[in-house]
Structure formats: C-alpha cells, structure tokens
Amino acid sequence: MGKMSVDLCGIELDNPVIPASGTFGYGLEFAELYDINILGTFSFKGTTREPRFGNPTPRIAECASGMLNAVGLQNPGVEHVIKHELPALKKVFHKKVMANISGSSVENYVYVSELLDREEQVGWLEINISCPNVKAGGMGFGTSCESAAAVTKAVKAVTRKPVIMKLSPNVTDIAAIAKACEDAGADGICAINTLLGMRIDLKTGKPVIANVTGGVSGPCVFPVALRAVYQISRAVKIPVIGCGGVSRAEDVLEMMYAGATAVQVGAANLVDPYACKKIIEKLSGVMERYGFRR
C-alpha cells in the first residue's frame, strides 16, 4: 500500500482529501453518517464577522455536469462559531480543522482571523478572497495582485497559524495573484473557487437564481482548476491545494501531477454525502494501479 500522508504547511494529514468550505457545514451532519476522522481535514463553512442570512432564494440551480450557486455566505457569525460550533465539533473530530474566513473589508478579515487564530482546534486559516456571490468584498479582494497582497499581509500580521489564500479563477492571471500572496507572507494557496455563470428559465425569460449570477462548480470546472493549479505551482514555492470538480480518486492524483499538495472536494459532497469517504477508500488502490508509492 502506498503512503497517503502529506504535509500541509507543517501539519501532517493522514491523506490529502479535504472537503471544501460551503459543502461540509461545520462537519456535524456528516459525522452522523460516517467517522469524519478518516478525512485529512476539512474546511468549515465560510465564516464572517457578523451573522449572514445569505442571498434570497432560489439560490441553487443545476447545470450540465455541475451546479450553480449563489448562497451568499450564509453563516451564524464568528462568535457563534467559536461558542457553539467548534465545541460541538471537538466531540466528533479529533484533528485540526481548516477555518474558512470571508470579509467585506480588510478590517473584517483581520478581526475574524485574529479570533479564530486563538482556537486550539483550528490548524489553518483559509482566507476566501474569491467568493463571486456577495456584493461587498469577496471576489473583489482577489482580482488584483495589490488587493490580494493587502489582505494577506494584514491577516499575517495578527496570526501565527498557516494562512492559505483561496483564489478566484475569474481573473486574467491567477499565477501572478498567487505570487503576490506568497510575497506578502501567505503559507499556501487554494485554487480555485467557483467560476461566474448564470442560467435562464425559458418559461419566464428570467434568471433561474434570484442573484442573477452565481458560482459554477462540479466536474465541468475540473480542467480549469487543474490548469490553475499547474500554473500556480510553477509560480510559487508554497503548497497549493487543488479545488474544483474533484469527484474521483483519479482526480486527486491528476491534481498532484499538476502540482497540488492536497485536494479539496466540493460539489461532489452535495451529490453524495459519502463522496470523500469513497475517494479515500479507493485512493490507495488507484495509487497502486498507476505506480504511486506516496
């Protein structure tokens, strides 16, 4: 059997499979289905300074080989997460968890990061500067080298834990933005978040989702994510997490060939709640088939 463990920013994972933020909640619902300690880790739901109700409904729609969503970072706020979600999670998950953080201003990113950096169970801070479904902040911080670097530098100034910057594919040169984040002190990069898209209902002539546009995810975006990981891994020296359309053990190895250290699984969890469990169980066999020893 090949060795599946990987080192992610100085913390060892039993395997490289990580459920992506927004598709795994705070882990508790999945813990009712299987032992989530088999995961490398997981990135919990995007958390902001204040509670967010999210965008109006409908906010999810199907598309060919994937889905479209504009949930809008619905979450209970960082103080609720620290007081309620993390203590509950600690009872069922005995590894370090990845905290996904969003903000409408640099100050908000700093505030939430500083609080979650103090939490013992949090191993990494994943800074989301790539959400296309919020009007303030979100993807706006990840579309230029200058703004991405500014958020990175500000968060690094108040934290001790590894900072992973989650980047948007809705840019001209994602590798340049990754390099700017590295130069500003980032410990890792996660790529990609969703692609901006939309659907129209032919019966009404109106957009299917209330937000008009939303993020496209699922198997249809895998080639785009793979290309981004390939470009970024050749532009930076810090670890890269590949995210986007991963749904099979074979996808994990393909991401690693492209340069990923670990892989996040997103939309697949919404299709099959056992998706990550199945990928992990099949991974060693697929490694053996293709001659991977580690």
139 DSSP assignment: G
pLDDT at 105 over 70: yes
pLDDT of residue 1: 65
Q: What is the rounded average pLDDT for all residues in the chain?
A: 95
- Is the pLDDT assigned to residue 138 strictly greater than 70? no
pLDDT of residue 137: 53
Rounded to an integer, the average pLDDT of 11-27 is: 98
Which residue spans within 60-194 are E strands per DSSP?
Answer: 60-63, 66-69, 97-101, 122-128, 163-167, 188-191
Q: Are 221 and 192 within 8 A, CB to CB?
A: yes
Instruction: Place 129 in a pLDDT band, splitting at 50, 70 and 90.
Output: very high
pLDDT one-digit tens code per residue, 188-241: 999 999 999 999 999 999 999 999 999 999 999 999 999 999 999 999 999 999
Q: What is the pTM of this model?
A: 0.95
More confident residue, 138 or 65: 65
Provide the pLDDT for residue 102: 95
- Which domains are delineated in the chain? 6-51+75-195+218-289 (3.20.20.70)
Which residues have a catalytic role annotated? Answer: 131
Could you give the 3-state DSSP secondary structure of residue 3?
coil
- What is the arithmetic mean of pLDDT over 246-271? 97
How far apart CA 294 and CA 287 sit, in angstroms, is 8
pLDDT tens, residue by residue, 153-170: 999 999 999 999 999 999
